[in-house]
Amino acid sequence: MLLHVLLLLHASGGASSSISCYDDQGKPVDWFYLYKLPHPHHEPVQEGLKYLFMDGESEGWMDGKTLVNDSQSAVGRTVGPLYEGGDVGYILYNDQPPQKQKLFGDATRSCGHTKGVVVFDKQQGFWLVHSTPHFPPPKSQGQFSYPASGISNGQNFICVTYPFERFQTIGTTPNAFNKLVMVKNWLFALQVSLVHPKI
């Protein structure tokens, strides 16, 4: 079954979108790569929440301005709009979903680790691929948070901002988005308003 994703919103013409990948200063960026450093043994927990950050305008790795679990971190600023209550489409998938989340089907260990966050409005959105177990929290939690399960090991976050039209292409491309999210049965949250109107 092909997944068709289209969200129809009542957005005024020319309105700017707040859905984007963001850097530590809250500036929208086309992409970023964030590496959450591993927690060294016998060090304070905060040491396991530090990260390195790189985007298209940086000249290499930079220390994160805050901790990854802070809503003002690049990850917190990027994922935060999911919890702000606006009209957004989103897909959250994780082979290790947040605790007490019901999976669509049964996740198995025989497949690869697949984790990500897709959030979009009618203008643009982002696709964040990551390695963190139990992340992100469900929209019903009402706010961004970072799980304790993501502290010990190093974690990767790769975010790309796309125009809305790209999500329509991704959603109608056989074997791309559909298999990534649905076939592996790791989808724990999906909200879209309408299927593609051409179908």
In a domain, 12, yes or no: no
In a domain, 11, yes or no: no
In a domain, 3, yes or no: no
In a domain, 4, yes or no: no
In a domain, 53, yes or no: yes
In a domain, 14, yes or no: no
Q: Which domain holds residue 64?
A: 21-191
Would you list the DSSP string of 89-121?
Answer: EEEEEESSPSTTPPPSS---TTS---EEEEEE-
In a domain, 9, yes or no: no
Tell me how many domains the chain contains.
Answer: 1
91's CB contacts (< 8 A; 6+ apart) are 5, 116, 117, 118, 181, 187, 189, 190, 192
The pTM score is 0.80
Residue by residue, pLDDT tens for the chain (199 residues) are 333 333 333 333 344 568 999 999 999 999 999 999 999 999 999 999 999 999 999 999 999 999 999 999 999 999 999 998 778 888 888 888 886 545 455 544 455 578 899 998 889 999 999 999 999 998 888 999 999 999 999 999 999 999 988 877 766 655 554 445 443 344 555 555 423 333 2
In a domain, 58, yes or no: yes
